[in-house]
């Protein structure tokens, strides 16, 4: 398929030092993207953290993330998605992206969840993740909509090991969320929980949002708005771009 068929290009960034998720995600994105969207998936050089469960791991990949976002803009991407449910460096990426739009899983899932229902539960791997994610829930404005966090007791690299077992556990947590905690919508709170939403959704009977698909589609939506109406990130305060002179003087993103 030639490049000219695509009106828009999205870069999905797996901000980890492993490419093992790139291919399955790319395959999945082929099924879910709009026909005129091209999606590329990148991850980082193999020296560094292979997951971001710890905030200090997040911090170690930040320069690579910034450079990747900057390069994406130079390469004409219309959007970048930061593929981690902590939404790492979302503000910083939006500063860097003058034309591109940038989004991330938690933001896109939560805004959507708030339209689909009154309350939401987020299914996460470990208790460790909860405080940072809860901060984001509050920051985005959804404190009053949070029914619960459900902790599976699994690490990022456990989710795709034994599909049946992971599905069983997610399903049980989702059912508890809906029946005991009052959730009307369930969010899978890790991008590596991909591949499970459909069956869980079918079984629990409420929307179950996948943390890879939701931001990808939100990116497509935001691209359209920016292209047609000029509704991109406001650049006068919180997402103001740094001066090019400083960037070049300090060789910042090279």
Query: Quick check: 122 and 184 in contact, CB under 8 A?
Result: no
- Which of 6, 19, 24, 62 binds a second copy (CB under 8 A)? It is 62
Q: Which is nearer to a second copy, 41 or 52 (CB)?
A: 52
Counting every residue written for the chain, the total comes to 254
Per-residue binding letters, 185-224, with a second copy (x by CB under 8 A): x-----------xx--x---xxx-xx--x---xx--xx-x
Q: Which is nearer to a second copy, 6 or 253 (CB)?
A: 253
What are the structure tokens assigned to 153, written together? 């007791």
Question: At CB < 8 A and 24+ separation, what contacts does 165-171 make?
Answer: 166/193, 166/196, 167/196, 167/199, 167/200, 170/123, 170/196, 170/200, 171/199, 171/200, 171/203, 171/204
Q: Which is nearer to a second copy, 123 or 209 (CB)?
A: 209
DSSP 103-116: E-HHHHHHHHHHHH
- Should residue 40 be labelled a site residue for a second copy when binding is judged by CB under 8 A? no
For residue 190, the minimal CB distance to a second copy (Å) is 16
- Should residue 30 be labelled a site residue for a second copy when binding is judged by CB under 8 A? no
Q: Which is nearer to a second copy, 42 or 120 (CB)?
A: 120
- Should residue 93 be labelled a site residue for a second copy when binding is judged by CB under 8 A? yes
- Which of 26, 98, 142, 172 binds a second copy (CB under 8 A)? It is 142
Distance CA 179, CA 251 (A): 54
- Should residue 153 be labelled a site residue for a second copy when binding is judged by CB under 8 A? no
Pick the piece of the chain touching a second copy (CB under 8 A) from 2-10, 131-139, 164-172, 188-196. 131-139
Distance CA 206, CA 175 (A): 10
Please give the DSSP secondary-structure letter assigned to residue 129. G
Query: Quick check: 39 and 1 in contact, CB under 8 A?
Result: no
- Should residue 27 be labelled a site residue for a second copy when binding is judged by CB under 8 A? no
β-sheet bridge partners, residue 37: 8
- Should residue 228 be labelled a site residue for a second copy when binding is judged by CB under 8 A? yes
Query: Quick check: 187 and 211 in contact, CB under 8 A?
Result: yes
For residue 137, the minimal CB distance to a second copy (Å) is 10
Pick the piece of the chain touching a second copy (CB under 8 A) from 19-27, 111-119, 160-168, 169-177. 111-119
How many of the chain's residues bind a second copy (CB under 8 A)? 89
CA distances from 92 to 57, 99, 171 (A): 17, 14, 35
For residue 29, the minimal CB distance to a second copy (Å) is 12
- Which of 19, 134, 181, 227 binds a second copy (CB under 8 A)? It is 134
For residue 73, the minimal CB distance to a second copy (Å) is 12
């Amino acid at each position: 398929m030639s490049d000219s068929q695509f009106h828009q290009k999205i870069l999905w960034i797996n901000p980890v030092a492993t490419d093992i998720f790139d291919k399955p995600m790319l395959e999945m994105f082929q099924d879910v993207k709009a026909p005129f969207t091209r999606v590329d998936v990148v991850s980082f050089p193999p020296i560094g953290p292979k997951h971001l469960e710890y905030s200090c791991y997040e911090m170690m990949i930040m320069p690579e993330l910034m450079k990747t976002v900057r390069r994406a803009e130079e390469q004409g991407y219309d959007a970048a998605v930061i593929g981690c449910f902590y939404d790492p460096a979302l503000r910083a990426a939006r500063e860097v992206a003058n034309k591109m739009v940038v989004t991330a899983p938690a933001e896109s899932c939560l805004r959507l969840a708030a339209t689909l229902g009154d309350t939401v539960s987020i299914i996460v791997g470990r208790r460790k993740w909860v405080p940072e994610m809860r901060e984001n829930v509050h920051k985005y404005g959804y404190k009053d909509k949070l029914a619960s966090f459900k902790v599976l007791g699994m690490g990022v690299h456990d989710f795709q090991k034994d599909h049946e077992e992971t599905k069983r556990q997610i399903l049980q947590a989702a059912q508890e969320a809906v029946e005991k905690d009052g959730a009307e919508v369930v969010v899978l709170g890790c991008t590596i929980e991909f591949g499970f939403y459909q069956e869980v959704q079918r079984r629990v009977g409420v929307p179950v949002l996948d943390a890879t698909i939701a931001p990808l589609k939100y990116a497509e939506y935001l691209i359209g708005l920016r292209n047609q109406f000029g509704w991109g990130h406001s650049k006068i305060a919180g997402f103001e771009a740094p001066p090019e002179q400083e960037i070049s003087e300090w060789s910042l993103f090279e």
